Amino acid sequence: MSDSTDLDVSRFDYLLPSLGADMDEGRVVEWRVGVGDTVHRGDLIAVVETEKSDIDIEIWHDGIVEEFLVPVGELIDVGTPIVRLRHLDADGGATETTGAPSSRSSQPSPPPADPDVTTALLEPTTAVIPEPTPAVDPDRRVLASPFARRLAAERGLDLSTIEGTGPHGAVVEADIRRAGTAAVANAAATTAPERQRTPASMRALIAERMSRANREIPHYHLARDVDLGPLDAWLAERNASRPITERVLPAACLIRAVALAAAKHREFNGAWVDDHPEPADSINVAMAISLRRGGLVTPHVEAADRHSLDEVMERLNELVAAARSGTLRASWMTGSTITITHLGDTGADLVHGVISPPQLALVGFGRSRLRPWVIEDLVTIRPIVTATLAADHRATDGADGSRFLATIAHHLEHPEDL
């Protein structure tokens, strides 16, 4: 790439962009690339948390990631260099620093002799990022096509956070699709803290995700009745000696049982990617949590198979409180590998669930109810819950699902091992 040689600029820094008219600071919550990765214009490189929402940000130049300049989670000002990249040469490889002085007169400031040009690159007048970064003029009206506006409204996206690539920088359909894809990839149906999301926009997101699930995923459904008698008794005894704040609820036991079963039947834990299942290493069990004002969110308990029941309960309390107060973090919402829906004791008897794409399975629990139950030769009255499995038939078959459900039932019937 002759330009970079002329300029003696082999490296460039990517600055934290303003992702909305009122954004002046933000924090990187997740890198989507690693050091050494080659990135191209349009690639998503990081998730940035702003006052309003978490946003995937794109790089506007090809390059090779050399160094991250800010730690994840630290609050930084707009314009702060966040990542240093090396330019690609014309062959797609990295350009080496030549140290040759530039003869180009059109540059507003002369390039430094020092090959390390970072300081100069941070000057606002240099050509670090020749193309405009997202709108920073607070008075500027957001240009967007009518169709882009409609799509954004349907998806609950804030137009001012989306960089337009249409005429005059207008946001067009393609920009929304890019932003929408990123939003959908954040598996738990939201990129924004709940307090920002209106019921209508959440409805639209649920509509889109569930439509996609029913359109793309060939579901199969299995059910199995589980005797919760042992669990109820064990929990009652365990909780009796504890303060209320440390008591364990059945929901935490369900998470543990599913996590342990998923650790054994790994084909149900992960995602369907392109045309094949990709089992995940970590078992991040998402829990559907209904919101009082309508809608639901599905934050997860990370590595639920490797945490104790008490730790899972603690995290579950945290998730429910955050969901209800609208303070869920992106890291709790992205990367779920399997989902539980639990209707609770006032719910229906059983649930035929819909998988949350791109996951492979959803485990449902209906209400626990007293039913006649045969144990050996005796009919007794037991608290019974119907566990159901909705699974992706592309990844697994009914026999696999039956074994998975049996393992879940086994763990619930042997609570001392949870």
CA distance 337 to 339: 7
Give the shortest CB-42-to-other proteins separation in angstroms.
11
Give the shortest CB-150-to-other proteins separation in angstroms.
5
Q: What is the DSSP letter of 290?
A: E
Give the shortest CB-295-to-other proteins separation in angstroms.
24
Give the shortest CB-148-to-other proteins separation in angstroms.
6
Classify 295 in phi/psi space as left (phi over 0), alpha (psi -120 to 50) or beta. Answer: left
Looking only at residues 115 through 154 of this chain, which bind other proteins when binding is defined by CB under 8 A?
145-150
Task: Convert 314-327 to b/e letters by CB count within 10 Å (16 or more is b).
Answer: bbbebbeebbbeee
Per-residue binding letters, 157-186, with other proteins (x by CB under 8 A): --------xxx----xxx------------
First to last CA, the chain: 60
In 73-172, where does DSSP find H-type helix? 118-122, 146-155
Two tokens, residue 312: 């899972």
DSSP codes of every residue in 334-388: S---EEEEE--TTS-S-------TTBSEEEEE---EEEEEEETTEEEEEEEEEEE
State which amino acid sits at residue 232.
D
Q: How many residues bind other proteins (CB under 8 A)?
A: 12
Give the shortest CB-174-to-other proteins separation in angstroms.
8
Instruction: Compare residues 174 and 348 and give the one whose CB is closer to other proteins.
Output: 174
Give the shortest CB-62-to-other proteins separation in angstroms.
15
Give the shortest CB-87-to-other proteins separation in angstroms.
21
Please tell me whether residue 43 binds other proteins under the rule CB under 8 A.
no
Looking only at residues 90 through 119 of this chain, which bind other proteins when binding is defined by CB under 8 A?
none
Give the shortest CB-14-to-other proteins separation in angstroms.
21
Give the shortest CB-170-to-other proteins separation in angstroms.
9
Two tokens, residue 210: 């569930």
CA distance 355 to 186: 15
Looking only at residues 45 through 84 of this chain, which bind other proteins when binding is defined by CB under 8 A?
none
In degrees and rounded to multiples of 5, residue 361 shows phi and psi of -160, 155
Instruction: Compare residues 149 and 307 and give the one whose CB is closer to other proteins.
Output: 149
Instruction: Compare residues 168 and 276 and give the one whose CB is closer to other proteins.
Output: 168
Nearest to 286 by CA among 273, 272, 269, 274: 269
Instruction: Compare residues 173 and 314 and give the one whose CB is closer to other proteins.
Output: 173
**Three-state secondary structure call for residue 37:** coil
Instruction: Compare residues 149 and 329 and give the one whose CB is closer to other proteins.
Output: 149
Q: In what order do the strands lie in the sheet with 54-58?
A: 54-58, 44-49, 25-31, 75-77
Instruction: Compare residues 168 and 292 and give the one whose CB is closer to other proteins.
Output: 168
Two tokens, residue 398: 């009914």
CA distance 186 to 331: 9
Instruction: Compare residues 171 and 251 and give the one whose CB is closer to other proteins.
Output: 171
Instruction: Compare residues 207 and 375 and give the one whose CB is closer to other proteins.
Output: 207
Instruction: Compare residues 169 and 347 and give the one whose CB is closer to other proteins.
Output: 169
The torsion of the CA quartet 161, 322, 314, 356, rounded to 10 degrees, works out to -60
**Residue numbers at the binding site for other proteins (CB under 8 A):** 145-150, 165-167, 172-174
